[in-house]
Amino acid sequence: MNRKEIYKKHSKTDKYKATQKKYRDSPKGQMNSKIRKWKHRGLIAINYKLIYDKWYYSSHCDNCKCEYSKDNVKCMDHDHDTGLFRNILCNICNLNLNSDNTSGIPNISWNKHDNNWEYCRKIKGKRHRKYSKDLEWLKNYKKEYELKHIYTN
């Protein structure tokens, strides 16, 4: 057996799965998983661990100073053009700062120039846009699009 085959056999064992789960649930595993998600969303940082620490210990929104809750969760705010980290915000502030006249739905905002709702999302490096006057239709479109392109491979 070569290394690849050994790995393949090994990766299916319960012992290996348990070790993986233990790692994922550990503070280091949690941190790395979070950082991986941020990188995937385009966040660029010189020191990701430093930002993670700031994120981890942040209990109040940098903008409105409210305490995070289940309904108003902690969000990572970054500049969508440069990818650079800006703030740690509550969900409400994050939505409002990133768009004018927010729909309350992430990635859907009112486009003043076109007089339309605009859905804009960058997935795997590709930017996708869709416009509609019908917000409900666009919400459904977003759901289907993301199901197809994010949650499946």
Range list of H helices, the chain: 3-10, 14-25, 27-40, 48-57, 91-98, 135-149
Give the range of 19-27, 42-50, 93-101, 103-111 binding Zn ion by CB under 5 A.
93-101
**In the structure encoding, which two tokens stand for residue 138, read together?**
């666009």
Question: Is the CB of 51 or the CB of 93 nearer to Zn ion?
Answer: 93
Whole-angstrom distance, CA of residue 20 vs CA of residue 23: 5
User: Does residue 116 interact with Zn ion by CB under 5 A?
Assistant: no
Whole-angstrom distance, CA of residue 89 vs CA of residue 62: 6
Question: Is the CB of 93 or the CB of 138 nearer to Zn ion?
Answer: 93
User: Does residue 73 interact with Zn ion by CB under 5 A?
Assistant: no
How many chain residues touch Zn ion (CB under 5 A)?
A: 5
18 half-sphere exposure, CB direction, 13 A CA radius: 3
User: Does residue 90 interact with Zn ion by CB under 5 A?
Assistant: yes
CB-based contacts of 132, cutoff 8 Å, min separation 6: 116, 117, 119, 138, 141
User: Does residue 93 interact with Zn ion by CB under 5 A?
Assistant: yes
Residue choice 32, 63, 98, 116 for contact with Zn ion (CB under 5 A) = 63
96: exposed, middle or buried (Cβ count in 10 Å: 0-12, 13-18, 19+): middle
Question: Is the CB of 43 or the CB of 90 nearer to Zn ion?
Answer: 90
Question: Is the CB of 51 or the CB of 90 nearer to Zn ion?
Answer: 90
- Residue indicated by tokens 């070569």: 2
User: Does residue 95 interact with Zn ion by CB under 5 A?
Assistant: no
Give the range of 55-63, 73-81, 98-106, 123-131 binding Zn ion by CB under 5 A.
55-63
Residue ranges in contact with Zn ion by CB under 5 A: 61, 63-64, 90, 93
